[in-house]
Amino acid sequence: MYIHRLALVAPSAKLGQDVQIGPFCVVEEDACIGDGTILEARVTIKRGVIVGKNNHIFEGATLGGLPQCVGLAEEDCGAAIIGDGNIIRENVTIHRSMHADSATTLGDDCMIMANAHIAHDCHIGDEVIMANNAMLAGHVSVGKRAFISGAAGAHQFVRIGAFAMVGGQAHLVKDVPPFVTVDGLSSQVVGLNLVGLRRAGFSSSDIKTLKGVYRVLYKSGLNWRETVEKIEKEYTEGVGLEMARFISSTTRGITTERSILPTVMEAREAARAANSTNASHDAVAQRDDDGPETIPLRVVDDEGASLLPPPSKRRVG
């Protein structure tokens, strides 16, 4: 065991074998740190925190801070439990539960990158990666091997399913099903996380099953009750069952699929078609004597509303 002479460790703190505590660390009373865990400089482990074995916690991280809830007394708060083999980078914050008989939990073998925040009563599965500045509000759950990209944020009580991939700066207000990818710009689902599934060793049969569930969920045109009933009836084992259970148990709803936006060529064709049938001045083809025909990309309906997305949202093709 190594404790730097400039660290402050409470006498009642429980330290395992081969623990290393760097300068200016603070370990409060009744905190528990497992074997082989390393605390770099300026780490704070507060009371009510249980840290497992072989974790590496980097400079400035604070584990076990009080929930950011108005009027909550410290004696009413629960614990924060950190599993084994995690990498917790600089300035990460993980808060205790707001209930005395509960805990915020982080699984095993996760990587929580710099400045990420995990609020009270979150439950993070094994092998989860949270990139820089990702933020989870209270009561969020994250499934095994999910990946949350930089600056993404999740509303309280949102669930992120296992093996899901969340893009950078996404803002999540509904549940993210397992195995899918969420686009950071639109914060909507854009398909299965095929790269992650193949890297994780899922079989072709599993991926085919997930594609079937995805089509029912996002392409069938059924209402919600019909969608859930069809998935529960047709997928009763393996990855299909996991998807069915997740979808049927949602309380916030499921993140929607991103609509496919037209290419520039499709927009031009739509403009020409509108020009031939609609005399609207917003969609009139213009021809210069010295140049080729030009077609404005703005197409409007009978009430003057644009039928096309803004230029920044169009695909090029």
CB burial readout 302-311, b (16+ within 10 A) else e: eeeeeebeee
Tens digit of each residue's pLDDT (9 = 90 or more) over 35-87: 999 999 999 999 999 999 999 999 999 999 999 998 888 888 999 999 999 99
Among residues 95, 120, 123, 139, which one is catalytic? 120
Same domain, 177 and 202: no
Does some domain include residue 183? Answer: yes
The rounded distance, in Å, linking the Cα atoms of 40 and 46 is 15
According to the model, what pLDDT value does residue 194 have? 96
Same domain, 110 and 173: yes
Does some domain include residue 82? Answer: yes
Same domain, 188 and 202: no
According to the model, what pLDDT value does residue 86 have? 98
Number of domains in the chain: 3
User: HSE on the CB side for 89, CA within 13 Å?
Assistant: 13
- CATH code for the domain of 150: 2.160.10.10
Beta bridge partners of 165: 147, 181
The region of weakest confidence among 103-117, 188-202, 284-298, 300-314 is: 284-298
Does some domain include residue 253? Answer: no
What is the dihedral angle through the alpha carbons of 200, 110, 100, 36, rounded to the nearest 10 degrees?
Answer: 130
Tens digit of each residue's pLDDT (9 = 90 or more) over 213-244: 999 999 999 999 999 999 999 999 999 999 99
Same domain, 67 and 147: yes
Does some domain include residue 257? Answer: no
The model's confidence at residue 272, banded by pLDDT at 50, 70 and 90, is: confident
Q: Would you say 284 and 312 are in contact if contact means Cβ atoms under 8 Å apart?
A: no
The rounded distance, in Å, linking the Cα atoms of 149 and 42 is 26
Same domain, 171 and 54: yes
Among residues 64, 121, 150, 240, which one is catalytic? 121
pLDDT at 155 over 80: yes
Same domain, 54 and 145: yes
Q: Would you say 247 and 226 are in contact if contact means Cβ atoms under 8 Å apart?
A: no
Same domain, 185 and 204: no
Does some domain include residue 256? Answer: no
Mean pLDDT of the chain: 89
Does some domain include residue 292? Answer: yes
According to the model, what pLDDT value does residue 208 have? 97
Final residue in a domain of this structure, among 149, 174, 193: 193
Tens digit of each residue's pLDDT (9 = 90 or more) over 81-124: 999 999 999 999 999 999 999 999 999 999 999 999 999 999 99
- CATH code for the domain of 230: 1.20.1180.10
Same domain, 288 and 229: no
Tens digit of each residue's pLDDT (9 = 90 or more) over 180-197: 999 999 999 999 999 999
Q: Active-site residue 125, yes or no?
A: no
The model's confidence at residue 316, banded by pLDDT at 50, 70 and 90, is: very low
Does some domain include residue 287? Answer: yes
Whether the model pTM is above 0.85? no
The rounded distance, in Å, linking the Cα atoms of 315 and 267 is 10
Q: Active-site residue 95, yes or no?
A: no
| CB within 8 Å of 138: residues ≥ 6 apart | 67, 69, 98, 119, 120, 121, 122, 156, 157
Beta bridge partners of 49: 80
Closest CA to 232 of 252, 215, 213, 251: 213
User: HSE on the CB side for 307, CA within 13 Å?
Assistant: 18
Whole-angstrom CA distances from 42 to 35, 39, 57, 89, 276 are 20, 8, 10, 12, 70
Range of the structural domain that residue 212 is part of: 198-248
Same domain, 240 and 296: no
Among residues 138, 150, 153, 161, which one is catalytic? 138
Same domain, 159 and 217: no
Q: Active-site residue 301, yes or no?
A: no
pLDDT at 250 over 70: yes
According to the model, what pLDDT value does residue 211 have? 96
pLDDT at 167 over 80: yes
Same domain, 89 and 122: yes
According to the model, what pLDDT value does residue 135 have? 98
The model's confidence at residue 166, banded by pLDDT at 50, 70 and 90, is: very high
